Amino acid sequence: MATKVKKHMTGKVKPGDVTQRVGVEQLEARGVNVTELREKLIDAAGAEFTTYYYYTVLRMYLAGNEDYKEICEDARLEDRAHFELITPRIYELGGSLPTDIRDFADRASCADAYLPQNPTAAGILEILLEAERCAIRTWSEVCDLTFGKDPRTYDMASRILQEEVEHEAWFIELLSSIGPFPSWRAGRCSIQQKPWLL
């Protein structure tokens, strides 16, 4: 008995073709530039991975400030979870992570969160705050690219964005409890413009 052909049974991808992805085809039909999205996700994954690494280093210098260290640890573990959440989506979209860790780290969408030469709790917290702000900008951009077009990536990016906004709030609260320090009095400036952090 012949199977009746239904509307969604066929498309550009031929039956049995494992070189193409219907998921990608459908996103492109909805106006998503899948190549651009994949590249942004790879860059974002690089940022989450390197931030996880730098948080691992930075938290060791918060000894004696256990409240700060605990919050840093929570953000660190969430960034690792973000990396693990993003990676399968990159492959689902036909992409892959760079095979060389140095290339991957260089692609990160955010700057490295280096340990200051003379680390203080306030200096470390400010570096972490700026890392979270970069992540918020990154994930907001991914949300804008996928809203109404790619529900799977949008849902992932939106969840990550919400956690990054929460991380920013944690670090603002902690820095506010320490009190004002030079970068706040001088106005907004980059880490490179803050010699007391170097």
Structural domain range at position 128: 37-181
Q: What is the pLDDT at residue 7? A: 73
| Residue 41: CATH number of its domain | 1.20.1260.10
Helix (H, G, I), strand (E, B) or coil at 100: coil
Nearest Cα neighbor of 95 from 158, 144, 46 is 46
Count: domains in the chain = 1
Q: What is the pLDDT at residue 17? A: 60
Q: What is the pLDDT at residue 193? A: 40
Q: What is the pLDDT at residue 187? A: 42
Q: What is the pLDDT at residue 196? A: 35
Whether residue 154 lies inside any domain: the answer is yes
Q: What is the pLDDT at residue 80? A: 96
Q: What is the pLDDT at residue 190? A: 40
Q: What is the pLDDT at residue 85? A: 97
DSSP state of 14: P
Whether residue 155 lies inside any domain: the answer is yes
Instruction: State which residues of the chain have pLDDT below 50.
Output: 182, 184-198
Whether residue 2 lies inside any domain: the answer is no
pTM of the model: 0.82
Whether residue 198 lies inside any domain: the answer is no
Residues 6+ apart with CB under 8 A from 53: none
Specify whether the CB–CB gap between 197 and 123 falls below 8 A.
Answer: yes
Q: What is the pLDDT at residue 63? A: 87
